[in-house]
Structure 1
Amino acid sequence: MLDLASLTELLSQPRKIVITTHHKPDGDAMGSSLGLYNFLIQLGHHAKVVTPTDYPEFLAWMPGNEEVIIYTENKDLSARLIADAGIIFCLDFNALGRINEMGALVGESKAIKVMIDHHLEPEDFDDYRHWDINACAAAQLVYTFIANQLNQKQYINKDVATCLYTGIMTDSASFRLPNTTATVHRIVADLIDAGANNSRIHELIYSSSSENRLRFLGHCLANCLEILPEYNTAIITVSKSDIARFDVNTGDTEGIVNYALSIANVHLAAFVVERTDRVKLSLRSKGEFPANEICKKYFEGGGHRNAAGGQSDESLEATVAKLKSILPQYKTLLLQ
């Protein structure tokens, strides 16, 4: 593994740098990526953010977004940037499979690979790792990478702060999750001092829904929500026809699972959606219940204890039936 002194020396001279993150990037993925991008360009680096796929429109306002390259929309340019890079930063993911087709390109690249992440069980594809499973967001780790490891906090300007605040806010569910520690709040205070407009950021993320998304949310809660009181579990099941009916776009399903988890006495919530190629699951839990264990053992996924995701090649109905069949194994935990 590369040591910090060697990485610091590499970053002391302008380099060709690619920053990438997981497919279907969320607020933390884009916030951490663009936060790092806005830091690196101040140092004279030739940096580009390359995402494996598109991402929600409500994230497109962040500083530097106009420079983002989407791999699925520009494969040739993306491949050239990855091949030419001297350093590749891998943010908010720890396995090359999480960046889809780009995984092979990054894996074959001769570039120094830097992982900044907070997920369990990282793969050994990186040369330098800033990793902490207790961090509430990758954006928190980008902050500590800049401020503490590189000792360059003075470069956390308004643009950097705005992006990192967005990442921390979204991945902590607006600072509600247990890993939103006093340290996190002190970091957030620093970001506000550096120029992050907290109320405006919240408005841009959470108060910019389309009419279709709001009607889709209403449909999910009124017609797709099933409560299993014997297991303190709620499941929202969405079919391809639902997706087509409400013209659901990237990001429109984000956060819907949290409405199910907000129900009193619900300790596990699942959002199960039928996509074109497979069924996707998003699980959220309260307390000590291991949502990530269910995703890892049964649905080819993983994540954090209280927030995890998975997938299934079975039908929507079979996937939901499988999920329900697993619940008896966890009944004691769910009823605590």
Structure 2
Amino acid sequence: MLNKIISEEKISQLKQLIDDSHNIVMITHVSPDGDALGSSLCLYWLLHSMGKNASVVVPNRFPEFLAWLPGSKDIVVALDDNDRANKTIAEADLLCLLDFNTINRINWLKTPVGASKARRILIDHHPNPDIECDVEISHPEISSTAELMYRIVSMAGAPYDHITKDIAECIYTGMMTDTGNFSYNSQNPEIYLIINELLKIGINKDEIYNRVFNTYSVDRMRLMGYCLSKKMRIYEEQRTALIYLTAKECEHYNYRVGDTEGFVNLPFSIKDIDISIFVRQDNEKEKIKISFRSQGSFPANKMAEDFKGGGHLNAAGGESYVSMRTTLSMLEEAILNRERYEKE
């Protein structure tokens, strides 16, 4: 039995909004990951089973290793078909915003979402949400938005709690990817109660793992080797590793969306390293993306806040709009002063 962390009132409000709506659109953050897609497609399939006209709209492309997810072929990618994305959002009478806590996280979808007269539901697990919604279900203590979706449908009862194998696979993928295959932010015993129920429904967790983590290209493996041998800095006294890639280096290894997924976690195999930072220049969005990870009590999200970002204690993200050289200099200063974040 799971603890009912979501209030009955919010569950009732969510159900009423869905009952009163027909055209429902799920929207995720830019560069959608396994949790964003898993939670959105979970809701997508549930709504379809209830006779609703449901769509998922994402700002840009998602990694190929998530293209097997049930329903992924129906996702509207705004970067590829902006007119269709805008039309889908404009025709919605309910928008479900999943896995982001600020409107800036959806980039160019801000305009059509801002212009929409549709009601809004926010379902997210990031701290300090600042999006105006009719119903807000925000629980930063939960490991993933996919886990939150499972809890919602379980509390909502029929017909929401009719979880098919397709839905179960979406939920498990979101939970697995947002915890590094349950290697961080996954200490809550209830996570494994949920997994137990998903296994009973018929998911093959080993197959899902292989589909997500063991389908990379040769170029991606060579890029990983290049990062570890040539582009990793170790700050022994600060117990920190920093890996960085320029856009030119990514191009040399035929970079595709998702190829650097998980690179930020690699240095944790090194003894005593408890902070890892991964930096990648992104020409598509003309910025530098920064991933922060930590083990133990170091607040990665506090460090990320100095780089226009935020997130969770052990997993956060930021960005920079200055040169790579300047960005690395700023990061090095933050690393050398790690005690400042630990005292906050």
Give the alignment's TM-score, normalised by structure 1.
Answer: 0.95
Aligned match of 2:149 = 142
CA contact (8 A) 2:11 2:152 kept: no
Q: Secondary structure at the match of 2:313?
A: coil
Q: CA deviation at 1:333?
A: 7.1
Amino acid at match of 1:192: L
Of 302, 309, 328, 1:320 maps to 328
Partners of 1:46 and 1:294 in 2: how far apart? 42
1:305 corresponds, among 298, 307, 313, to: 313
Alignment of 1:30-179 (within 5 A): 30-150=37-157, 152=159, 154-179=161-186
Q: Cα gap change, 1:104/1:88 in structure 2, threshold over 3 Å: closer, same or farther?
A: same
Partner of 2:338: 330
**Contact 1:96–1:107, Cα closer than 8 Å, also in 2:** no
Higher alpha-carbon deviation: 163-172 or 105-114: 105-114
SS in 1 for 2:79: helix
Deviation at 1:66, TM superposition (A): 1.3
Partner AA of 2:237 in structure 1: E
Distance in structure 2 (CA, Å) of the matches to 1:304 and 1:207: 26
Q: Is the 1:82–1:109 contact (alpha carbons within 8 Å) kept by the matching residues of 2? A: yes
User: CA offset at residue 13 of structure 1?
Assistant: 5.6
- Identify the residue that residue 264 of structure 1 maps to in structure 2: 271
Q: Does 1:286 align with 2:298?
A: no
Tell me how large the CA RMSD over aligned residues is. 1.8
Matched to 2:292, the amino acid is L
Q: CA deviation at 1:150?
A: 4.8
Q: What CA distance in whole angstroms lies between the structure 2 residues aligned with 1:6 and 1:288? A: 36
Deviations for 1:97-128, whole angstroms, at most 9, x for unmatched residues? 10001112112211111111000110132110
Shift of 1:246: 0.1
Query: Compared with structure 1, are the counterparts of its residues 6 and 309 closer, same or farther at alpha carbon in structure 2 (3 Å cutoff)?
Result: closer
Percent identity (aligned)? 36
Code of the residue aligned with 1:97 in structure 2: it is N
Distance 1:19 1:241 in 2: 34
In structure 2, how many angstroms separate the alpha carbons of the residues matched to 1:3 and 1:193? Answer: 28
Does 2:12 align with 1:5?
Answer: yes
CA contact (8 A) 2:291 2:317 kept: yes
Query: 1:249 aligns to what?
Result: 256
Contact kept in structure 2, 1:280 and 1:310, CA below 8 Å: yes
Unaligned 5+ residue runs, structure 1?
A: none
What's the secondary structure of 2:137's corresponding residue? strand
Q: Tell me: CA distance 1:3–1:229, structure 2 relative to 1, closer, same or farther (3 Å).
A: closer
Amino acid at match of 2:332: K
Deviations along 1:54-73, whole A, 9 cap, x unmatched?
Answer: 01000000111111100111
CA gap 1:305/1:3 in 2 versus in 1, 3 angstroms: closer
Q: Secondary structure at the match of 1:272?
A: strand
Q: 1: distance between equivalents of 2:109 and 2:332?
A: 34
Aligned length: 333
Query: For 2:40 and 2:130, how far apart are their aligned partners in 1?
Result: 20
Secondary structure of 2:206's aligned partner:
helix
The CA deviation at 1:154 is 3.8
TM-score by length of 2: 0.93
How many Å apart are 1:201 and its aligned residue? Answer: 0.4
Give the drift of 1:261. 2.6
Whether 2:213 is the aligned partner of 1:206: answer: yes
Q: Please point out which of 234, 241, 247 is paired with 1:234.
A: 241
Specify every segment of 5 or more residues in structure 2 that has no aligned partner in the other structure, as ranges.
1-8
Contact 2:18 2:94 in 1 (8 A): no
